[in-house]
Chain A
């Protein structure tokens, strides 16, 4: 069964450094998302991406964040200058299309980002 994959599984970085989190969505899916989950907290939406552009973003997704789909398979989240409070699990998700029959999202296993 196809699944969303994410690399790395765990990333440790120093405050102020740039990190790139990578995701390979399910191949025939058209919509891609990034979420984060701080330990013990709820899953929070960051950004959605469709047709090579951001379709929606949350207040969390400020100028230090960016997303890219550099080729036909990868979907990346870049954090330009990490802060301690960016430490969290980052989940990539994808969905095939958005019509009344299909709103569910398929999540990857996550990347645990630790900022020291």
Chain B
């Protein structure tokens, strides 16, 4: 079955630096991949979607890359701010053509002032 791996250790960075989060997957070739933000006790909030034929996508300070050969997506936040502190979830298109996303466990980002 498909497996999604996100770093379980929190990423601590200094304000102003670029945060880079990784999502690796196995046993699947999704047509697209999504990134969500989740704050404690809250529901996930959609950030970006990238398709398999797109290498990179940007939205304001966010950038996502999608390497289908490495089976990996990188999520970057440039000029990070303490308000960016949250858990970031990677979600893959469901297997077998299902549109239901399969979520990773997420990586916690802590931006220190």
Contacts and interface: CB of A to CB of B under 8 A. Distances in A.
B42 interface: yes
A107 interface: yes
Interface stretch (B21-29, B43-51, B65-73, B75-83): B43-51
Contacts, number: 47
A109 to B, nearest CB: 6
A103 B43 contact: no
Interface string A41-55: 111110010000000
A68 B93 CA distance: 25
A41 B99 CA distance: 21
Contacts of A89: 41
B interface residue count range (under 10 / 10 to 19 / 20 to 34 / 35 or more): 20 to 34
A110 B42 CA distance: 6
B93 A107 contact: no
A103 B47 CA distance: 12
Given A104-B49, A105-B46, A109-B42, A43 B34 contact: no
B112 to A, nearest CB: 23
Nearest to B104: A42
A41 B105 contact: yes
Contact of B100 (A4, A45, A110): A45
Given A43-B89, A103-B93, A109 B43 contact: yes
Contact of B46 (A44, A56, A106): A106
